[in-house]
Amino acid sequence: MLEWLRRWVLSHAPTPEREAEKALNEARLALYRAEQRVRDAIMYAEYYRERVSFLKRVKDEGIENVTDLRAMRPYAAAQAGGSQATLRLHPKAVTNE
């Protein structure tokens, strides 16, 4: 019985290789989370950069003279032959005025 217990303890003892494997998995997860935070920060910075430039244009030119360029992007891409998907409305939803 003692021999079995000794072998079990030795087989489950923390070795440097096992500890390194655990640490590697934790480090990969931490790296993934850090990269995700960087991507989120870039997205937020881009959003606020566009918002600030839009508000500056509204302040300088007035709301009547400013068109939000973000709303025009899908149409410009479709006209330029871009590969971006565009929203297609049902014919009954489009009104001709």
Q: Is residue 28 part of a domain?
A: yes
CA distance 43 to 32: 17
- What is the rounded average pLDDT of the residues 31-36? 96
Query: What is the arithmetic mean of pLDDT over 34-43?
Result: 96
Range of the domain at 52: 15-62
**Is residue 43 a part of any domain in this protein?**
yes
**Does 35 map to a domain?**
yes
CA distance linking residue 43 with residue 40, whole number of Å: 5
Tally of structural domains, the chain: 1
Establish if 8 belongs to a structural domain: no
Flag whether pLDDT at 83 surpasses 80: no
How is residue 80 annotated by DSSP? T
Q: Is the dihedral of CA 51, 40, 73, 71 positive or negative?
A: negative
Residue 97 has pLDDT above 50, yes or no: no
pLDDT per residue over 50-74, tens digit each? 999 999 999 998 888 887 666 666 6
Structure tokens at 38: 């960087």
Q: Is 49 part of any domain?
A: yes
In a domain, 96, yes or no: no
Q: What is the mean pLDDT of the chain?
A: 80
Q: What angle do CA 83, 76, 53 make, to 5 degrees?
A: 115
- The answer as to whether 78 is a domain residue is no
